[in-house]
């Protein structure tokens, strides 16, 4: 059996992917993760995008763990996306027994109400945003290889809760050896709407490496109140972030928040079960087949 065929078999057999996923989670030292990532990149396709005018953005992402993307999307695109999702049902991934429900009528216990992957991929502008040349150029410069789209999510965060749930507490993501996430606000987000929070440069910080949730007090004790960046802004605010750095979605106090997120990584996420969606050729003909292979036929 040739090496290429063997690699394809391993990549498609779920137990192997799961073992690789669990193995990389044991690497919590940032330097060790970088070393192994560099080795992994040698076996992956190179980016065919020119860094060009986006080199500085990539350097900022490397240094700070995030970079803002000004004027990435148009207001009419945001409005069309919000209108699209207003007609779709959501679910609480932490309480799947509740089934699907209207996004404006979540169960009382619901913190976050997520839309289905198919509804996201069929939405008017998701694939355009995900495959934006600027975004992919910066991401692939940071990854060191051609990007794999490994997660797409859109969800409402609802107020009315006293205690944070799951990702509403500070944590590190360890989804792959290297990965970058794109965040786009679909609603205006202020201090009462549950802004995304991130500790700049914590993706290289040697402390707080245990895979668990951290309280605000723990993070403030180490980094100070001013060491946390809260991403507030009008709808359309967009940024890329290395979420191996410490971050959370702030618990909304009074207003709900609608967020679009895409994750780019070196490999498929070992614990995820991917199903491709058949879309119109007009939506997919210009997409990079490798980058979008897990989601788009």
Q: How confident is the model at residue 24 (pLDDT cuts 50, 70, 90)?
A: confident
Lowest-confidence region among 14-28, 80-94, 190-204: 14-28
Q: How confident is the model at residue 5 (pLDDT cuts 50, 70, 90)?
A: low
The token duo for 53 is 């005018």
Tens of pLDDT, residue by residue over 59-112, are 999 999 999 999 999 999 999 999 999 999 999 999 999 999 999 999 999 999
Q: What b/e sequence results for 149-173 when a residue is b if at least 16 CB atoms lie within 10 Å of its CB, and e otherwise?
A: bbbbbbbbbbeebeebbebbbbbbb
User: Looking at residue 290, what DSSP letter applies?
Assistant: T
Residue at 184 is within a domain = yes
> CA 46, CA 146: separation in Å to the nearest integer?
5
Residue at 82 is within a domain = yes
What's residue 283's pLDDT?
79
The count of residues in the chain is 297
What's residue 270's pLDDT?
82
Residue at 70 is within a domain = yes
pLDDT at 14 over 60: no
Q: How confident is the model at residue 247 (pLDDT cuts 50, 70, 90)?
A: very high
Looking up residue 249, the CATH number of its domain turns out to be 2.60.120.620
Lowest-confidence region among 4-13, 77-86, 125-134, 162-171: 4-13
* pLDDT mean across residues, the chain: 93
pLDDT at 11 over 70: no
Residue at 292 is within a domain = no
Tens of pLDDT, residue by residue over 262-287, are 999 999 998 888 999 998 777 788 89
Residue at 180 is within a domain = yes
What percent of the chain stands above pLDDT 70?
Answer: 95
For the chain, what is the domain count? Answer: 1
Residue at 294 is within a domain = no
Residues near 178 by beta carbon (within 8 Å), at least 6 away in sequence: 33, 37, 40, 142, 143, 144, 265, 266
What's residue 44's pLDDT?
96
What's residue 4's pLDDT?
56
What's residue 214's pLDDT?
97
Q: How confident is the model at residue 26 (pLDDT cuts 50, 70, 90)?
A: confident
**What are the C-alpha distances in Å from 24 to residues 95, 176, 178, 290?**
28, 7, 10, 22
Residue at 290 is within a domain = no
Instruction: Please give the average per-residue pLDDT across 167-176, as a whole number.
Output: 96
Contact 54, 61 (CB under 8 A): no
Residue at 263 is within a domain = yes
Q: How confident is the model at residue 256 (pLDDT cuts 50, 70, 90)?
A: very high
Domain ranges, residue 267: 3-284
β-partners of residue 261 are 153, 183
The arrangement of strands across the sheet holding 179-185 comes to: 66-68, 238-241, 179-185, 257-265, 148-157, 112-114, 90-91, 100-101
Tens of pLDDT, residue by residue over 27-56, are 889 999 999 999 999 999 999 997 789 999
Separation of CA 255 from chain center: 22
**What are the C-alpha distances in Å from 171 to residues 168, 218, 239, 249, 250?**
9, 11, 19, 10, 12
């Amino acid at each position: 059996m040739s090496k290429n065929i063997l690699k394809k078999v391993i990549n498609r057999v779920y137990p192997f992917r799961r073992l690789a996923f669990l193995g990389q989670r044991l690497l919590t030292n940032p330097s060790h993760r970088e070393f192994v990532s560099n080795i992994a990149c040698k076996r992956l396709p190179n980016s065919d995008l020119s860094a060009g005018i986006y080199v500085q953005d990539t350097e900022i992402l490397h240094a700070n763990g995030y970079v803002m993307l000004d004027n990435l999307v148009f207001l009419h695109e945001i409005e069309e996306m919000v209108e699209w999702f207003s007609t779709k049902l959501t679910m609480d991934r932490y309480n799947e027994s509740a089934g699907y429900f209207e996004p404006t009528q979540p169960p009382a216990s619901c913190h976050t109400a997520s839309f289905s992957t198919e509804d996201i991929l069929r939405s008017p502008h998701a694939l355009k945003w995900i495959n934006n040349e600027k975004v992919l150029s910066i991401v692939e410069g940071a990854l060191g290889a051609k990007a794999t789209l490994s997660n797409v999510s859109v969800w409402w965060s609802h107020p009315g809760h006293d205690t944070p749930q799951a990702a509403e507490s500070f944590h590190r993501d360890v989804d792959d050896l290297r990965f970058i996430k794109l965040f786009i606000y679909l609603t205006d987000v202020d201090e009462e709407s549950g802004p995304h929070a991130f500790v700049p440069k914590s993706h290289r910080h040697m402390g707080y490496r245990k895979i668990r949730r951290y309280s605000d007090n723990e993070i403030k004790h180490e980094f100070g109140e001013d060491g946390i960046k809260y991403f507030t802004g009008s709808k359309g605010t967009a940024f890329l972030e290395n979420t191996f750095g410490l971050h959370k979605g702030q618990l909304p106090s009074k207003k709900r928040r609608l967020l679009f997120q895409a994750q780019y990584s070196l490999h498929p996420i070992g614990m995820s079960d991917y199903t491709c969606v058949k879309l119109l050729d007009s939506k997919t003909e210009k997409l990079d087949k490798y980058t979008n292979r897990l989601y788009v036929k």
